[in-house]
Structure 1
Amino acid sequence: MSDTAGLVRFWRQQRSMSQARLAELAGTGQAAISRIESGRDQPTLALLERIASALDCQLRVTFTSDSEAAPPSNLIV
């Protein structure tokens, strides 16, 4: 299971919200929420933004690596 799957399920349950209600608020179907929560589907960033908004959560996107490589010096972070 992905971090995304667990986090969507965790925050949905914290809000005592059904998958159907979350789907309605996020503008998608209940089956899509089920696939996301089970890790069978990775949502687009746009859908994640709508899900986060529906859950009254803030979405943060980060890049991580197990290697020691640093980002290019001309990359503004």
Structure 2
Amino acid sequence: MVSHARWKLTRDKAIAEGFSESPETARRREEIRLAFELGQAVYDRRTELGISQIELARRAGMTQPQVSKLELGGTVPTVPLLARLARAMDSELNLKLVGETSQVVFSAA
């Protein structure tokens, strides 16, 4: 498995060398990046709270494998699921999207 940082470095190098990706590839890359950032934000808050994936799954009405897949960036959660996760982690979700940059944070409510 390629890490997100290594994948981004390889992509940036290819673009600098004149490689141009298709609109479909760029769209998919953006989806993957956002899924990864959302998953990382869930992981960060869950570990900050000191709870297991099993406990988060119980609180959010999910299964542990669903939490694991989400944290690894393997799925893009729906807005209702994000709301359940925020409640389950006693948090508010802050999602900032500006151009090609984004910031995702679950913070204490």
Distance (whole Å) between structure 2 residues aligned to residue 45 and residue 26 of structure 1 = 13
Tell me the residue number matched to 1:19.
Answer: 53
Where relative contact order (Cα < 8 A, 6+ residues apart) is larger, the structure is: 1
Distance (whole Å) between structure 1 residues aligned to residue 68 and residue 47 of structure 2 = 13
TM-score of the superposed pair, with normalisation by structure 1: 0.77
Q: 1:8, CA displacement in angstroms?
A: 0.2
Flag structure 1 segments of 5+ consecutive residues without an equivalent: 67-77
AA matched with 1:54 = A
Q: 1:63, CA displacement in angstroms?
A: 3.2
Distance (whole Å) between structure 2 residues aligned to residue 62 and residue 13 of structure 1 = 22
Larger radius of gyration: 2
Q: Which is richer in helix? A: 2
Flag structure 2 segments of 5+ consecutive residues without an equivalent: 5-35, 101-109
Computed over aligned residues only, the root mean square deviation of the Cα atoms, in angstroms, reads 1.3
Q: 1:39, CA displacement in angstroms?
A: 0.5
